[in-house]
Chains A and B, each alone.
Chain A
Amino acid sequence: MTSIVLNVPDSFLSLVNGYIKAGVFKTNEELFLAALSEFVSRNQLELLDHFANEDIEWAKKQKKGLK
């Protein structure tokens, strides 16, 4: 598992801590993952294209015998 460091305004951090204290999220990690899910929901079509392109590149590597 990799840890990441995020620089956020103090006001944002107190908001996050407020959510955790209220039991909306258990940890900072949970909040980050929830934000990621929201990003996925809002960018569904772009992500589908992005992942389809990844599939195409992967398949092309098979042709070249790279993997």
Chain B
Amino acid sequence: MKILVCDSGPIIHLFEIKNLQLLFNIGEIFIPSTVKMEIEKYLDSIPKEFKIVKMDEGEIPEVERIIRIGKMHRGEAEAIIIAKRINAEILLTDDTSARMYAGLLNLEVHGSLGIVLWNYFNEFLDKKDTERILYSFKKSSLWLSESIFQKALSLLE
């Protein structure tokens, strides 16, 4: 089973389109305690599948440094540090700064679109449901350009 760390972005975006469960098909999802606090504002309850991870005292200066220099939120910075600590296979985020920075640290990073398409290609979603989800993204707070939207639709057989 894959070990993944996720920040608030994909959780909120998948919640908005009522498909949060797609996350758990990929693997075990670890989230920093700050992310838990952030998503509590949106979700009625936190799914028990989320593994909540607290920051170690010694990791705080690095988190502060990433926030200050990388122009990131605390949840994103903590997700990067935890992904490194637990040797996560994948970091899930939709934030460009977090994705860029995590890439520099040799982390494999994917976002909400990747999560949906992963579920399609692994047959957790059929073509009809995947199409419906991609159209739902247009009404969510996730930004997808029209060319990417069309490209994603064209993959579905």
Which residues of chain A have a CB within 8 Å of any CB of chain B? 30, 33-34, 36-37, 40-41, 44-45, 47-49, 51-56, 58-60, 62-63
Contacts and interface: CB of A to CB of B under 8 A. Distances in A.
Given A44-B96, A58-B110, A37 B71 contact: yes
B155 interface: yes
A51 B69 contact: no
Contacts of B148: 49, 52-53, 56
Interface string B105-149: 000011101100110111000000000000000000001110110
B15 interface: no
Contacts of B100: 36, 40, 47
A28 B15 CA distance: 40
Given A40-B96, A47-B96, A52 B113 contact: yes
Contacts of A44: 96
Given A33-B69, A34-B69, A59 B155 contact: yes
B13 interface: no
Interface in B76-124: 96-97, 99-101, 104, 109-111, 113-114, 117-118, 120-122
A66 to B, nearest CB: 11
A33 B111 contact: no
Nearest to B104: A36
B151 interface: yes
B155 A56 contact: yes
Contacts of B17: none
| Of A34, A47, A53, A63, most B-chain CB atoms within 10 Å | A63
Given A56-B152, A58-B110, A59-B118, A49 B71 contact: no
A41 to B, nearest CB: 7
A60 B152 CA distance: 10
